Chain A
């Protein structure tokens, strides 16, 4: 945006304000970022320790998920898969909601938002940078979790094929690709949370309200999805396809639900972000 640069101070260019790297550093310095990322790194180690001390005398079996538990110690890939499976339902949702919901709302609650806007950082640019960085941190959290789980699991349980009871074993090489595909799908499905949290973060000055609100909406959607009596309406729920990644465990991979899940997630996220930009570029900043 090269618009009317001459009217600004020397050296001021709207397109140079709020550099992405500055926002990355700004968020990196926050304790909540460090804690969230640290916990993502710690979780696989805690799970690993639990398996070591637990002894694994569990005789429960049944659904596809229980079989994941049984298989978790069969190799590094399965251990990483297990860590992802246990985090996907709630932990990842909270972390993504934290990164995306808190980023604008916390600036508003500190009062620093108005100074950024008075720099002036163009409002759309401020939101775009904040969103990109928040999504980046969410992706990093997901990758840290996967990476640590993969390394720790491989060191402890070895490099073995990716197994599941729903289908044949997958050799380690393709298995790693499948694992990355699962991570990719989880990342896409988390866009819904990112969208909701970001929208709420723009609408409210309370960071807790934005994060908690997004998580609560997600849980509400999950509960509604359990009610089969709702029939086809459930296809419209943002969480309906959240388990579709399991299709990647079968051979050949089941991608139909993944595609529908991606459509749902992208549509919801775009809607939420669109609303957030529409609202933020028009509202009076009162914080």
Chain B
């Protein structure tokens, strides 16, 4: 076989089925790739414009704003609008995802860069009613003038205002200042900046503690001088040409800058600064809001904690304006939160705008939704939260409360100079590192904190809201800056500070002795957490926190926390997790597989019953009838052209042919291993198909033995018989073993067997159960002469009592001596068949060995024989043409030619040699 044909056979043959399957896979891959890379056709169009608005207290300052208007592509008539404001330090680009999503829902969305940021002109006035809010009013005018925008009256567009953080405060303040706003969705924003930057958690009027960490981040975002690269790039983040930037104040307006420098220097601001912060807060206008408000606040937010959203909600609701509140697990520290929270917030926003702006859909309920951390996602290490809802917004005091008793003596704690080293609770401005925050970066400095701990709680507490605790403190200076924190401590003693939130407290007028100190109520930051049964609750009072400004002067305070800790609780109804749909998918898949399997089995059984292997009763008594058998492979190679023969009971039939004549392929078909291309084989009248039960009446040795190498010969026979599932007694192991003649070797592993031993064991295996038809492929291969002789006797004996044997061989002598009948095949066709005696019987030719070949040839010619062929140096093959052998010998002797040997030849040999002699290589591998 040449290497090309080897290669061709090694490679898959290009059959029709393969071509079909290949092209199907190709089409599938191409389709998936195409689907993945196909650019999605946006459902909106966008248009950039610089819009100049009149701003300032006297409406005489021209401010140019960088805007982009998104319009739904498929709109009929005028559409409602959404003014979408960005967060501090962002531009119109920061909200493009939300804008596209809203535009896809059929809103005209106007995004813009607030003045003092990006390419817009002006300065940062920190949502001043005279500047930023007035800008937004100018944009409402502009929207009202657009022909695409739906209006409620002249100059009054149908518009909702949506924004987060800086943009959220803008939404609130715009709605408070301008009655044209139809609905607002402010998120993670503030109520009062003085409370934000100077928080005070105790019930005292003393100024709070400066939140220096966040203030620095806030100021840095607006004050930063843009880098050369950003200027050169001229992107949306680059300020307009001609804007000069003061290195101290950046793009902040002078009054805002001065206020920051004032508060950041001392932590004790002037009234002017406090007034500015108040003016920049929704608190100043929130009672005037008439637009239905959806307030979204983050539970992982140390900048604008839940209490800011709560203040907004209470103020707006007090006027009778519809308000809905939602909390999510995210915020300025936690980012957008887990996907489930993002989906919930998006759905709430869409529902709110659809009803109050577009006028579509039912009125949203006033229910309150929130989420609680359930654990970590194993795959992306992100947080997983569960959503809950309650009928109404409970505020920060919960719908119930649980009292936990704390224990701990009054403890002295030291305030280091300048608050350094300081405890860590949160990392302002890093954002999005939810898991880090919840895993607890919190660290307290020894000597700087006092600890008050509860006993393990008996049952889980569903905490939601602001816990309250009573605190007494004494200070030699009369003042104390303290940070109160609530830790959830698990059984292993690991404390967790939820969301890194702390309650800063500044107390004044304190006595020097703890005994004289008054009790102050401290509202701890609002959190959502389940405190598991067996956990303890720990309240820590510390003197420092890196996120806040602590006093410069060192001092040692004494603190005592009262035993009673009130934990507000809310028991919400779990919101169905949309992910649970996958459970139904899984159940459906399993059900489909089971149903598919059952259907498949039923169909199979029915088909088998209908197409029960065809029976030909006329051959029921005939062990084997092969008719018109043909096997062509997919690559066009024809192993068997056409073979027909019959094996009757009592016969030992030899299938004789050179290597590659098609013998083995024929036997493979007889074993049901290969499907014939045409023709059929009938065993006792049953057509042979793979797995046909009638095969159980056939014993076989095809293409050499196949044994489990690690088992002994006997174990192999046992294993084989077990696989047949037939009664043990039917196997007749003793008789089979006797035939194998392996003696004690049957107890050795077959991998140690010689080729001949394996062959004998394989014949024994084929004879197990004494099958009525025995098919043996080259049975004497590897056997020594005595064993061959024994095998011949065994096979002859086997074919008595109605059994039959089919033996294939390429050895003439074997067939001649073993078989009663012979079928001679070559190149896939039968060339001779019949009883061996008939074929073997004297042939007309004789082989002579003579002393003088030329003389002999002359003599033979005179005798009139048909042909004379030289055979070796002194041999001749003579076709006698009817002349008796005795006369030939006599003639030769008379002519003086010495005759050494006279060997009569037989037909079978003639036939066989005629085939093999021409082409002893056979006709290929079959």
Q: Taking the nearest CB of chain A, how far is it from the CB of B155, in angstroms?
A: 46
Q: Is B105 interfacial (CB-CB < 8 Å)?
A: no
Distance from B29 Cβ to chain A, minimum over Cβ atoms (Å):
12
- B696 x A263 contact (CB < 8 A): no
B378 touches A254 (CB 8 A): yes
- Residues on A with C-beta less than 8 A from B579 are 256, 259
* A271-287 interface bits toward B, Cβ cutoff 8 Å, 1 = contact, 0 = none: 00000000001001110
Given contacts A29-B711, A114-B673, A256-B577, contact A7 B686 (CB under 8 A): yes
Query: Smallest distance from the beta carbon of B17 to chain A beta carbons, Å?
Result: 9
Q: Are B379 and A244 touching (Cβ within 8 A)?
A: yes
Smallest beta-carbon distance B386→chain A, Å: 8
- Given the known inter-chain contacts A7-B686, A259-B583, please indicate yes or no for A14 contacting B693, CB distance below 8 A: yes
| B719 with A26: CB separation less than 8 A | yes
Q: Establish whether residues A119 and B375, one from each chain, have CB atoms under 8 Å apart when the complex forms.
A: no
Which residues from chain B contact A247 at a C-beta distance below 8 Å? 375-378, 384
Contacts of A9 in B (CB 8 A): 696-697, 726, 769, 771-772
Residues 1-26 of A contacting B (Cβ, < 8 Å):
1, 3-5, 7-14, 16-19, 22, 25-26
Distance in angstroms between the alpha carbons of A110 and B753 in the assembled complex = 14
B700 touches A260 (CB 8 A): no
Cβ contacts under 8 Å, B725 to chain A: 12-13, 16-19
Q: Number of B interface residues, CB 8 Å?
A: 76
Q: Closest Cβ of chain A: how far from B689's Cβ, in Å?
A: 10
Residue of A whose beta carbon sits closest to that of B673: A285
| Interchain nearest-CB distance for B807 vs A (Å) | 16
Count the A residues whose beta carbon is within 8 Å of the partner chain — how many? 73
How far apart are A132's CB and chain B's nearest CB, in angstroms?
13
Contact B693 A111 (CB under 8 A): no
Check A8–B723 contact: CB distance below 8 A. no
Dominant SS at the A interface?
A: loop
A117 at the A/B interface (Cβ < 8 Å)?
Answer: yes
Q: How far is the CB of A96 from chain B (nearest CB, A)?
A: 20
The CA-CA distance from A168 to B719 in the complex, in Å, is 53
B376 and A121 within 8 A (CB): no
Identify which of A1, A63, A113 gathers the most chain B CB atoms within 10 Å of its CB: A1
- Please give me the residue from chain B that is nearest to A230 by CB atom: B36
B207-215, B260-268, B606-614, B898-906: which lies at the interface:
B606-614
Smallest CB–CB gap between B735 and chain A, Å? Answer: 16
Q: Give every chain B residue within 8 A of A286 (Cβ-Cβ).
A: 673-674
With beta carbons under 8 angstroms apart, the residue of A1, A119, A260 that contacts B605 is A1
Interface residue? A99 (CB, 8 A): no
Decide: A284 and B727 in contact? CB cutoff 8 A: no
A167 to B491, CA, bound (A): 11
Q: B813 interface residue, CB < 8 Å from A? A: no
A257 to B769 alpha-carbon distance, docked (Å): 55
A64 within 8 A of B: yes
A254 pairs with B374, CB closer than 8 A: yes
- Bits for B712-747, please: 1 = Cβ < 8 Å to A, else 0: 000100011011111100100000000000000000
Q: Which residue of A lies closest to B374 (CB)?
A: A252
| A262: interface (CB < 8 Å) | yes
On chain B, the residues within 8 Å of A285 by CB distance are 668, 673-674
* Contact, CB under 8 Å: A30 / B726: no
User: Within 8 Å of chain B (Cβ to Cβ): is A198?
Assistant: no
Evaluate contact between B694 and A245: CB separation under 8 angstroms. Answer: no
A254 and B375 form a contact (CB under 8 A): yes
- CB pair A3–B377 under 8 Å, yes or no, is no
16 A-B contact pairs sorted by A residue (CB < 8 Å): A7-B615, A9-B771, A14-B691, A16-B726, A25-B719, A110-B708, A115-B706, A165-B494, A168-B490, A169-B491, A246-B376, A247-B378, A250-B375, A254-B377, A256-B582, A259-B586
Known: A117-B690, A123-B690. 7 other contacts (CB 8 A): A1-B608, A11-B730, A17-B725, A30-B708, A243-B378, A244-B379, A266-B589
Q: List residues of A whose CB falls within 8 A of some B CB.
A: 1, 3-5, 7-14, 16-19, 22, 25-26, 29-31, 63-64, 110-124, 161, 163, 165-169, 233, 240-241, 243-247, 249-254, 256-257, 259-260, 262-263, 266-267, 270, 281, 284-286
